Structure 1
Amino acid sequence: MSAVETVTQVSQTLSALNLRGGDQEQKTEPYPYANLLPHFSPEQYPPLTPFKHEDPGFRALKHADPHAFLKNATNVVELTPNLGTEVHGVNLAALDGEGRDQLALEVARRGLMVFRGQHEFIDRGPDSYLEWGRHFGRLHIHPTSGHPKDYPQVHLVYKDAKSSYNFEREDSITSTVWHSDVSYELQPPGLTTFFLLSQPTTGGDTLFTSQISTLKKLSPSFVAFLRTLSAVHSGVEQAQFSRSGKRGGIVRREPVEHVHPLVRRHPVTGEEALYVNRQFTTRIVGLKREESETILKFLYDHVDKSADLQARVKWQPGTVVLWDNRVTAHSAIVDYGKSNERRHGARITPQAERPIPALEGLELPSL
């Protein structure tokens, strides 16, 4: 075979391979959750107004068996002694009103619940998500995040090879930022539902910590002092982050700041929980700047370092996670960026009551 014939044959082979590759690319199935990709509507929303929240967990307290919703479970495992329960064999999509009430109570008691094998729940789509969330409270519309088109009540987190719509700080040495969702609202969320529609092969886990347990680790005299304090929670930095052109560049509702107690009481269980977080708490009311910064830094470091009070959720397809935003904090782990894989999550965020001070009679000033 001559050199010319050899070159010709190689060229023909490469062409055939390219054609087959092109055919393969054309046959790639479309992304099944394309209808849930982030959309950034320029629509503006008025300030949120106060409302009366009735926690469904109260109804479950009257049930003869508050754990009846778990009767079909094939496996129930406590992730840690202080926080988190993993459940197999229970179909969230099949829970009736009583089952959802019982779920709310158990999430309040355990802080975090992880349900595996929830493909039916996830694949029912956004109308079902809204119906589910409204059972637990008024649905929150996030002021800056992306949402599926026509469904602003569904908060999305999203990152792929070309874009990121997460609240990430590139100038930090860590992606870990403990927070309680939108704690700057007058009535922050209670029971929260979150799941991934697409996930990296490895990485992208979520960390949770019990703010009940972090409080219990502190000395009684220090807790007594903390119970007398309140702090400002602010949405200003998050809004500025979006206005800088990141996260979609949208601010649908002007940022707010509200004062909440440093130690709050859960309305159903009566448990007391630390209620500050590194992402949204800015200062302690009534203290000098240095005093406030010193106490907040101590509390943030306490939350960061208390690995014995934390649980780590490793995502699997079909996993739905519920947590009580009043008594837990959490952080995404952004360790999968170099893989260029997609991480696409949806959150349903019902609001709850205005945080109840653990110290009866504590006055919460307006800003």
Structure 2
Amino acid sequence: MSASIVTTEVQAAETAQPIVSVKADPEVNGTKPKVRRAIDEEGGNTTAKYPHYLPVWNHGEKYPPLRPFEHVDHGKDADPSFKDLLLAGSTIEHLTPLTGSEVTGVQLSKLSNAGKDQLALLVAQRKVVAFRNQDLADLPIQEALDFGGYFGRHHIHPTSGAPEGYPEIHLVHKKGGGENINPVFANRNSTVSWHSDVTYENQPPGTTFLYIFDAPEVGGDTAFVNHVEAYNRLSEEFKQRLHGLKAIHSGYEQAENSRKQGGVIRREPVTSEHPLVRTHPATGEKGLFVNGGFTRSIVGLKKEESDAILNFLLTHIGRGIDYQARVRWRPGTVVVWDNRVTSHSAIVDWTTGERRHLARITPQAERPYETPYVAPSA
């Protein structure tokens, strides 16, 4: 996208609709907006396997506030036999009993609509599913976006870099080398950073896709934690108390961090109130909807009260090793997770100099809602 384009997002219904572009003045106060390109920072040459996916940060791209849209969850009425997804010759292996699976023999980009519906249901049930030997990275970027757009309106991240001309793609990129890794540990003991993506939005993401271009031979895995099981492990008294509570999710800190580092702010930051316990539309399961990345406080409670509950919940989620899964990246891997019922954390544990480069397609879902607490049957 050129600096002379300002994108207006329009309301969408079941699937993402095309973005409408409006011409705008390419200059601000007589100067052209700053455009930072990762490939320029590598001297115009790169060892990246997919250079057209290297990030660009265009300070001239600005977007209006997101508008509400009607989301239809495709997993809700999907065939639970998965006959259009797990075709003959495919295999599925569970990573752990409760969380995560790995599938081979399925090509996501070739799925029928029925297969995509079943994909949404499988991911809602297993929380995260890794698909091996995929062609998503090799498709034209617009084709990859068309595939992801089936699952909801594309989210455009307010602060991240994107492939030039495709702001709907969120990029994760560390070009490698010890200088990229060592500063992480200057003020912290580990890289654990559990979060659910952009939950400050009024309609946060649902079925989410992350695919790999470059990765270390060993290291750079991603860990996922199951928020449904985290909820299930609580006492009934505590579950009941959490119902009806709402929490503030804020994007202001992310925007301010980008500002301090000279980064972009494509859309002004927002906050949203979401229930602490969220119900999934396809499975009916209840899960904790709280994460350390964006949840700031509980509405109606004093700071000490709010902090005590949030600290307990975040510790409970983070230490739940028996309802977590770890995905190892390999060439051709696409990881699909349900952002409504999980948190995840990148694991920055390699010092061998390899690049780690991934792309995320982030369809938005429904506004979080909760259903009443139901006591277990006697």
Q: TM-score, normalised by structure 2?
A: 0.82
- Equivalent residue for 1:48? 66
Aligned residues: CA RMSD: 1.9
Higher helix share: 1
Show CA shifts across 1:155-203 (max 9, x none). Answer: 00111237869xx785322211111100000000000000111001211
Query: 1: CA distance between counterparts of 2:325 and 2:95?
Result: 7
Q: How many Å apart are 1:69 and its aligned residue?
A: 1.2
Aligned residues: 325
User: How do 1:241-260 and structure 2 match up within 5 A?
Assistant: 241-245=257-261, 249-260=263-274
Query: 1: CA distance between counterparts of 2:88 and 2:214?
Result: 28
User: How do 1:158-169 and structure 2 match up within 5 A?
Assistant: 158-161=173-176
- Equivalent residue for 1:108? 124
Is the counterpart of residue 269 in structure 1 residue 287 in structure 2?
A: no
Is the counterpart of residue 153 in structure 1 residue 153 in structure 2?
A: no
Which of 53, 77, 93 is 1:36 aligned to? 53
Q: Report the CA distance shift for 1:223/1:170 in structure 2 as closer, same or farther (over 3 A).
A: farther
Structure 2: which amino acid aligns with 1:124?
L
Show CA shifts across 1:261-311 (max 9, x none). Answer: 000000111100000001100000000100000111111111111100100
User: How do 1:338-349 and structure 2 match up within 5 A?
Assistant: 338-349=351-362
Aligned residue for 2:340, secondary structure, equals: coil
- Comparing 256-265 with 98-107, which one deviates more in the overlay? 98-107
Which of 302, 308, 311 is 1:294 aligned to? 308
In the alignment, is the contact (CA less than 8 A) between 1:72 and 1:90 conserved in 2?
no
In the alignment, is the contact (CA less than 8 A) between 2:209 and 2:360 conserved in 1?
yes
Structure 2: which amino acid aligns with 1:236?
Y
Query: 1: CA distance between counterparts of 2:278 and 2:46?
Result: 49
Query: 1: CA distance between counterparts of 2:212 and 2:187?
Result: 26
Aligned residue for 1:222, secondary structure, equals: helix
Which of 59, 84, 100 is 2:100 aligned to? 84
Q: Which runs of 4+ in 1 moved over 4 A?
A: 162-165
In the alignment, is the contact (CA less than 8 A) between 2:176 and 2:356 conserved in 1?
no
Which of 331, 354, 363 is 2:367 aligned to? 354
User: How do 1:310-349 and structure 2 match up within 5 A?
Assistant: 310-336=324-350, 338-349=351-362
Is the counterpart of residue 130 in structure 1 residue 148 in structure 2?
A: no
- Equivalent residue for 1:228? 244
Q: TM-score, normalised by structure 1?
A: 0.85
Query: 2: CA distance between counterparts of 1:347 and 1:169?
Result: 26
Gaps of 5+ in 1: 1-27, 361-367
Calculate percent identity across the aligned residue pairs.
Answer: 49
Structure 1: which amino acid aligns with 2:56?
H
- Equivalent residue for 1:199? 215
Determine which structure has more spread, i.e. the larger CA radius of gyration: 1
